[in-house]
């Protein structure tokens, strides 16, 4: 598999909207990588205090993988966003199911 699933669809939508503009695709990747950093902070907030969550966000923002790969037309940086969203949904659902005062089925 050369590209993550859905990347050719994303490129075709971008090329239809903005013409064959690599600059527009780079801006989209920069925005999606920025959202990935925010989602990493939200995941860290689920498990750790706010200071550690902010530290995780700063480390993500300054990580070379995010900063360099978002500027080049690589499908790797866009592929992380759906995975991070899935992890955030799983952590939130697990945190809510383990909340105090909730009865477990069968108990």
* pLDDT recorded at residue 106: 47
* pLDDT recorded at residue 78: 80
Tokens of 84: 């991070």
* pLDDT recorded at residue 107: 46
Phi, psi for 76 (deg, rounded to 5): -65, -40
pLDDT in tens, the chain (107 residues): 566 778 888 888 888 988 888 888 888 888 888 898 899 999 999 889 999 988 988 888 888 777 776 777 777 778 888 899 999 999 999 877 777 765 555 44
* pLDDT recorded at residue 41: 92
Taking the CA atoms of residue 87, residue 88, residue 89 and residue 94 in that order, the dihedral angle to the nearest 10 degrees is 90
Nearest CA to 42 among 56, 32, 31?
A: 56
The structure's pTM equals 0.77
């Amino acid at each position: 598999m050369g590209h993550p699933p859905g990347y050719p669809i994303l490129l075709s939508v971008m090329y239809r909207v903005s013409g064959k503009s690599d600059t527009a695709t780079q801006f989209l990747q920069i925005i999606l990588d920025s959202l990935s950093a925010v989602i990493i902070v939200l995941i860290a907030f689920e498990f750790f205090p706010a200071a550690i969550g902010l530290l995780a966000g700063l480390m993500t923002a300054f990580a070379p993988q995010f900063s360099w790969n978002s500027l080049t037309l690589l499908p790797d940086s866009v592929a992380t966003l759906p995975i991070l969203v899935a992890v955030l949904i799983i952590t939130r659902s697990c945190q809510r199911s383990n909340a105090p005062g909730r009865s477990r089925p069968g108990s």
